[in-house]
Structure 1
Amino acid sequence: MTDLGLPATILACLFDLDGVVTRTAAVHAAAWKETFDAFLRDRDGDAFRPFDAHADYDQYVDGLPRADGVRSFLASRGIDLPDGDPGDPPDALTVNGLGNRKNERVLEKIRSGGVEAYEGTIRYVTAARAQGLRTALVSSSANARDVLRAIDAEGLFDVRIDGVVAAERGLPGKPRPDTFLAAAADLGVEAKQAAVFEDALAGMDAGRSGHFGYVVGLDRVGQGDALYAHGADIVVRDLAELGGGGRGERA
């Protein structure tokens, strides 16, 4: 697989969505900021300290299932809310309520044209499929299908393990490797025969703990060292650097 920059033993590629296939990481970060800032402003008044769409997002939210991201960030501020239920209304002061409030904002942004694909990734996935590799999308997002349809890329993936499928199967999210392992199993390959493509530290942890054959870190925000520390075999700024339609500089 020299043209793709992968070991010859790799038979399948498992791609995260936000920050890997699409530029929706920024959309999600903005939606989280709007949600958390409104909550914190109401709660803390003059002591309000805003959510940082870069530092807080990368450390506490990125790559995690929605409710886990809420818990993680709130814990960083010493805030404890009841979990509530997955169907809680967006105005409920619960973990699930805040998560659903954020999801409403994300859907508004997606439907207003806030989704763009990384062309380097689209070319890479297309090239991988042309060489006979199987492909899967692995995302904690419950909106993955809508996003893929928005960029006309649903047909590029043989398998989709997203937040909806994970809930149906009872699969824990990243940093646990279960969703990636499920994707590999659905594709009919062993973990050691699959490569993981991720931009989130939680995704790197999942790739390492799942003992996948190769873990590629996408450094979109200048965290290359951290991606390596969390288990990346290689870190690039864009998949075009690996092959499948052009190369760039190593991150």
Structure 2
Amino acid sequence: MFKGVLFDLDGILTDTAEYHYRAWKKLGQEIGIPIDRKFNEQLKGVSRNDSLKLLLEKADRVGEYNSERLQELATCKNNYYLEMIKNIGPEDVYPGILTLLKELKGHGIKVSLASASKNGPLLLGLLKLNSFFDGIADPEKIAFGKPKPDIFLLAAKNINVRAEECIGIEDAIAGVQAIQSSGAMPIGVGKTSELGDKLNIVPTTEKLTYDYLVSKWEDLFKVV
């Protein structure tokens, strides 16, 4: 039986992806690098600094900025984002998530946050989900962001569970790849065309029930 569940945040607990897009779009306009939603797909699940690098690479302008200016741009984007999300509340938690968290807690399963967002603690507070999380992986304390496994390995470590004993839940391909590399069992939320066909996928978070997680975990270890 699995001992822990590692949750991504954006697109799993709530929909902050739209605000990230708007914040990156606003920053892009200010520095003369327009972006659209198609380009924004590359940024999902990716850390702030790595997203900024992708934005600058798009216009072949990475070499124009020193480290201090890069940090200023990243901070500027985050300030836009924070202003946009300040009204998020418990009513914005995705369908099925609160029930799942209650079920996991009731069965003694540890829960940890594995988000690339440095605003994870803030968002958990706004959503009133703090009490359900036994650990939060700090993206500042890892060497590499998604699709490397570091954030999921840290999330598992923070709840004293091996990654191989955990289920990871993601909605972005970079996150799915990170879960797979960590040794945890991935469950995707979205479409096979976007996440691949080598994992279990549900169309919406409403399908993420405790019984569903248990059945997929048991399927993984069935002897053929």
Question: Among 57, 70, 77, which residue is 2:52 paired with?
Answer: 70
2:40 alignment counterpart: 57
> Tell me, which stretches of 5 or more residues in structure 1 are unaligned?
1-8, 42-49, 89-93, 247-251
- Are 1:83 and 1:96, in contact at CA under 8 Å, matched by a contact in 2? no
- Are 2:15 and 2:94, in contact at CA under 8 Å, matched by a contact in 1? yes
| Corresponding letter in the other structure for 2:76 | R
1:82-120, Cα deviation, whole Å (9 max, x unpaired): 5644xx4xxxxx332221111010111122x14521132
1:44 alignment counterpart: none
Q: Do residues 140 (structure 1) and 132 (structure 2) align?
A: no
1:164-213, Cα deviation, whole Å (9 max, x unpaired): x232x34321111111101112212222110111111110110111121x
- Percent identical pairs in the alignment equals 28
1:62-87, Cα deviation, whole Å (9 max, x unpaired): 111111111112213322245644xx
Matches within 5 A, 1:3-14: 9-14=1-6
1:208 alignment counterpart: 180
Q: Do residues 217 (structure 1) and 188 (structure 2) align?
A: yes
1:197 alignment counterpart: 169
Structure 2 residue matching 1:187: 3-state secondary structure = coil
Cα 1:138–1:82 shift into 2, 3 Å: farther
Structure 1 residue matching 2:158: 3-state secondary structure = helix
- Are 2:156 and 2:163, in contact at CA under 8 Å, matched by a contact in 1? yes
| Corresponding letter in the other structure for 1:243 | T
| Corresponding letter in the other structure for 1:195 | I
Instruction: Tell me the distance in 2 between the aligned counterparts of 1:124 and 1:81.
Output: 46
| Corresponding letter in the other structure for 2:203 | R
| Corresponding letter in the other structure for 2:150 | D
Cα 1:125–1:84 shift into 2, 3 Å: farther
- The worse-fitting range, judged by mean Cα deviation, of 99-108 and 117-126 is 117-126
Question: Among 194, 198, 204, which residue is 1:226 paired with?
Answer: 194
Q: Do residues 174 (structure 1) and 142 (structure 2) align?
A: no
1:4 alignment counterpart: none
1:215-243, Cα deviation, whole Å (9 max, x unpaired): 01111xxx4322125x5x11112232132
How many residue pairs end up in the alignment?
Answer: 210
- Are 1:121 and 1:238, in contact at CA under 8 Å, matched by a contact in 2? no
Cα 1:216–1:170 shift into 2, 3 Å: closer
Instruction: Tell me the distance in 2 between the aligned counterparts of 1:97 and 1:69.
Output: 14
- Are 1:204 and 1:217, in contact at CA under 8 Å, matched by a contact in 2? yes
| Corresponding letter in the other structure for 2:163 | A
Instruction: Tell me the distance in 2 between the aligned counterparts of 1:242 and 1:143.
Output: 24
> Tell me, which stretches of 5 or more residues in structure 2 are unaligned?
213-224
- Structure 1 residue ranges (4+ consecutive) displaced by more than 3 angstroms after TM superposition: 81-85
Instruction: Tell me the distance in 1 between the aligned counterparts of 2:82 and 2:211.
Output: 31
- Are 2:147 and 2:174, in contact at CA under 8 Å, matched by a contact in 1? yes
1:244 positional shift: 4.3
1:91 alignment counterpart: none
2:222 alignment counterpart: none
- The worse-fitting range, judged by mean Cα deviation, of 29-38 and 236-245 is 236-245
Matches within 5 A, 1:1-251: 9-40=1-32, 50-52=34-36, 54-59=37-42, 61-81=43-63, 84-85=66-67, 88=68, 94-111=69-86, 113-114=87-88, 116-161=92-137, 165-167=138-140, 169-212=141-184, 214-219=185-190, 223-228=191-196, 233-244=199-210
Instruction: Tell me the distance in 1 between the aligned counterparts of 2:9 and 2:3.
Output: 20
1:6 alignment counterpart: none
Normalised by the size of structure 1, how large is the TM-score?
0.77
